[in-house]
Chains A and B, each alone.
Chain A
C-alpha cells in the first residue's frame, strides 16, 4: 500500500514539474542564469521522481526500510551485549562484598566499576568521538569531540583513583572489627571510645602506607595525572577557539609573550652583570 501511494506521488510530481518547466520556457526565450539554474533543479527532481516511479527501484527502497528493525535490533544487541558484560562484572564484584579483610589485598584489587566502565566506554562509545569530521568547522568539531572524549576518560580514571584511595578506609573498618572481636574474647575491651578511635587511626595509617607503595596505586596515580592533564589541554584548545572570537588574548599567546619577555630580561640581566653598556 505504501509503495502504491509513493508511485502515484512520483507520477504526479513528474507531470507537474515537466509542465511547469515548459510553461516557464515559453515565457522567456532568452534564458537568464537564474532560469538555467531553476531548469537544472527541476530536471534533477524530474529524474529522481521518474526513478522512484519505477516499480523495481521503489521495491528495493521499501525492502531497505523493512530491513531497518533488524538492523536496529542488531545494533541494540551489540550495545546490550556490552552492558550485559559490564553488569556481569559488577555482579561478580557485589558477590565479593562482605568477605573478610584478607580479600582486600591491594595487589589483588581487581578492575572494578570504573575500569569496567572505562573498558565499555572505550569499546562502545569512544569511536563516535573519533568519527572523521568534515567541512568548514571540522577542526573546531574535532577539538570539541576530543575534549568530550578526554572528559569521559578522566571521569573513569579519576573514579578509579578515588575508589582505590578509599580502599584503606573500608579495610581499616574490617580490621578494626576483627581486633575488637579479639579484645572482646580476651575480655580486654576498653570503655573509652578514644581507644578505639586511636586504634582505627593506627590501622588506617598502616593501610595507607601499604597502599601508597603498591604498584596498583602508583599506576593509577600516574594515569589520573595524565588524564587530568590531557583533559585540561583538550578543554583549553576548545576555549582557545571560543576566545579567538573575542578581543581576549589566549593563554598560548600570553605564554609566547612571557617567553619573549623572559628571554629579553635574561639577556638584559646578563649584559648588566657582565658590565656591557
Chain B
C-alpha cells in the first residue's frame, strides 16, 4: 500500500477546526431556536363555505380580477394534508394561482376517526366530492368546473371525471397514480405484498404514523439521517430553521386513512391495477376512463420515488379525451409544489392551460360570490409571465387541441 498524501496531523487539525466551527454554530443555533420563529403554514386567508361530516371546503378568492368564471376545485390526497399547496409565502401554489386571477376551492378531508373506518372510495368520490361539486356549481350558477387532483386525490378526480364527466370542464392531474403495474417505485413493490384485509380488520383505519414510517423507510439514509445532519449544519440560520420546521410540520401532519378506502385502494389499484384498465367499480358503477372526454393536463415528477413516471404517464393514453398533455418536471413528488424551480413552472403552466380552455372574462369584474376574505399582505409576484415559462423538459403533447370549452 502506497503512502497517503495527507498526513494524519493535517486531518486531525482539520477535525479540530471543524469541531470549533461546530461549537460556534451550536452556540448561535441555541440563540436562533430559543427565540420566536415564524413557522406557520397555510397562511393564505380562506373561508370554509361547505362542511359535511369531517370534510370541509375551503374557498380562496383572488384579490385580482378573475381571469375566468369557472373556479378550480383542488382535491388533495387522503394522505398528508392539503396545506402543502400553501406551505409558506413565496412557496405557495395557492398564492400563485390566486395571483393569476383563478378562484380556488380546496377540499380539506379533515381527520378521520374510528367512526369513519367504513367510508369507501365511493363515499369520497360519489359522496363528498360530488356534493362539493354540486355546491360549487349551484353557488356559481355554472354547468361545470375545473378539477385538479393531487396524488391519491388525483386518482379520485380521475374516477370522478369518468363518472360525472358533465360536471368537469377540464381535468388536471398532478403526481397521480393510475397505472399501478410498475416496479419503479418501492411503494408499488411493497404494496403488492401487503395483506390489506389483515391490516384493516385489525386496526380499522390505517394510522397516519404508520404511513409516515413507511414513507421514511423508502429512503432511510436521506430521510432519517442526512436530512437531520443537514439541519444540524444549518441550524444557526433562522430562515433555514423556519423553513425546515414548516416542512416537518407538514410531513408529520398525517391523518389516518379510513380503513375501507385503504383496503379498496390497495387491492383494486395497487394489487389488481383496475383503474387504468377501466375495470374499477365504485358501488357497482364502472369507472370507464374513455368517458373522460374533457381536456386533461397530467403533471408528474421525473424523480418521484412515491409515484414514479411509469405510474402516471399512461393516463392520457387511456382517457377518451382528444385534448391531453403530459408534463414531466425535473423533480420529485413534493418538489413539484414546493421547489423554487417548479414554483416558476407549475402554477403558471396551469394558469396558461386553463386560460386556453376557459372563456376569459373580458371586463374587470369582481366575483359574484359573496365571501368574507381578508386582504393578504402577499406581494403580487407579477414577475412571472405564463408566456415565458415553459417546462425545462419539453412537454410531450400527445393529442393537443386548443379548445375554449366555455
Contacts and interface: CB of A to CB of B under 8 A. Distances in A.
B112 to A, nearest CB: 11
A229 interface: yes
Interface residues of B, number: 42
Given A187-B2, A258-B117, A193 B18 contact: yes
Give 7 nearest A-B pairs by CB, closest first. A187-B5, A205-B221, A204-B221, A229-B202, A262-B118, A229-B198, A184-B4
Given A229-B198, A230-B198, A258-B117, 12 more contacts: A181-B1, A187-B3, A189-B5, A189-B6, A208-B220, A218-B193, A229-B202, A232-B203, A255-B114, A258-B114, A266-B123, A269-B131
Interface in B273-295: none
B334 interface: no
A259 interface: yes
A254 B202 contact: no
A225 B199 contact: yes
Interface of B: 1-6, 10-11, 14-15, 18, 53, 114-115, 117-119, 123, 127, 131, 183, 186, 189-190, 193-195, 198-199, 201-204, 217-222, 225-226, 229
B222 A255 contact: no
A261 interface: yes
B197 to A, nearest CB: 9
Contacts of A222: 193-195
Interface in A192-230: 192-193, 197, 201, 204-205, 208, 212-213, 218-219, 221-222, 225-226, 229-230
B228 to A, nearest CB: 12
A273 B131 CA distance: 9
Nearest to B204: A255
A258 B112 CA distance: 13
A273 B201 CA distance: 31
Interface in A143-196: 165, 168, 181, 184-193
A166 B226 CA distance: 16
A233 interface: yes
A191 B14 contact: yes
Contact of B15 (A168, A189, A193, A204): A193
A201 B230 CA distance: 12
A259 B229 CA distance: 47
Nearest to A191: B14
A184 B1 contact: yes
Contact of A192 (B4, B14, B225): B14
Nearest to A207: B221
24 contacts: A165-B220, A168-B221, A184-B4, A187-B2, A187-B3, A187-B4, A187-B5, A189-B5, A189-B6, A191-B10, A193-B18, A201-B221, A201-B222, A201-B226, A212-B189, A218-B189, A219-B193, A229-B202, A251-B114, A254-B114, A259-B118, A262-B118, A262-B119, A273-B131
Given A218-B189, A218-B193, A225 B117 contact: no
Most buried by A among B5, B189, B221, B229: B221
B198 A226 contact: yes
B6 A191 contact: yes
Given A191-B14, A258-B118, A225 B194 contact: yes
Given A189-B5, A218-B189, A255-B204, A225 B114 contact: no
